[in-house]
Structure 1
Amino acid sequence: MNELFSVKDRVVVITGGTGVLGACIGEYLAKQGAKVVLMGRRKEEGDRIVDKIRAEGGEAMFLVTDVMNPEVVQKNCDDIIAAYGRVDALLNAAGGNMPGATIAPTGTIFDIKVEEFQKVLNVNLTGTVIPTQIFLKPMVEAGCGAIVNFSSMAAFRPMTRVLGYAAAKAGISNFTAFLA
């Protein structure tokens, strides 16, 4: 059996853990033997996903978070270190879009609501930078770890009218290249 890419017993933290991508990835990694920590805003949904993972024999926990608040994310990290002793991987899957940061088919750039554009930038881009800063520290101390940031093809080419989302994802792609 090839164990080169095994995640068995690895502690994997997933922001946006109650979203479609975060939850599905968390469930899959738990089936592969990872100790999954889902982080998100929706406690009830997070608890439901963790219960499902545990019912299928996996190991998981859920922590309520706010990826734009360094104090909350630091507390999450401290709780994970207390429970598992380390963090092996961080998947930055938190994100989303808002109607006001999108140009409708009949709209123009003048229809963008700057406040909603800023919120989309914050949850996607800042919500990737803050967890990276915090969870990278124990990885550096351990001398190993992996971070996966979720971007989009919209970052490289304006495929749709999701201006705020595309700008945020372009920022994530640039941030990831910077880190590398």
Structure 2
Amino acid sequence: MPAQSVPAQSGPALGYIWPVQGTVVDPFRPPDNPYGPGNRGLEFATQPGSAFWAAADGVVSFAGPVGGRLHVTVSHPDGLRVSYSGVASIGVRRGERVQQRQQLGTAGDRLHVGVRRGEIYLDPAQVFGSRGSPSGQPSLGRPHLVPSSPAVYRLQLRWLHSGVGNAVL
């Protein structure tokens, strides 16, 4: 599925808001091809159990588990779908109409938010615009070192030297 870093045609005009309080720890990185590596959304570091909410009015098109993880997807009248992954609990049902700022559930320690128009992934930061959440726009986090195993360090170094990782340095 291709990804684009272009803004949605009517995203901010519809009043999309940031759907969670948290720090962006992995920004949108569109893959080179449909099956390539990248990040097709934004990864937020969140406080476990904290709320996440609908970015705009819409209808819940999916709410449930996929591959052992919980997900919620909301379809919006302008054709965009916003998906929330890494969810700790779900507070809505498929087919339910939701209003902007309505709580959809709670987050774990990481919440991934993706935006699609059809099968094209869009950069959520451009869709949500600069309006920010009720408490302000999330910030891009600064990397910090934490103790880890040698295998994890090797993986991190490979990522940093891949040409993609230099965006966070």
TM-score (norm 1): 0.27
Task: Please identify the structure whose Cα radius of gyration is greater.
Answer: 1
Higher helix share: 1
**Greater RCO (CA < 8 Å, at least 6 residues apart):** 2
Give the TM-score taking structure 2 as reference length: 0.28
Q: Identify, as 1 or 2, the structure richer in strand.
A: 2
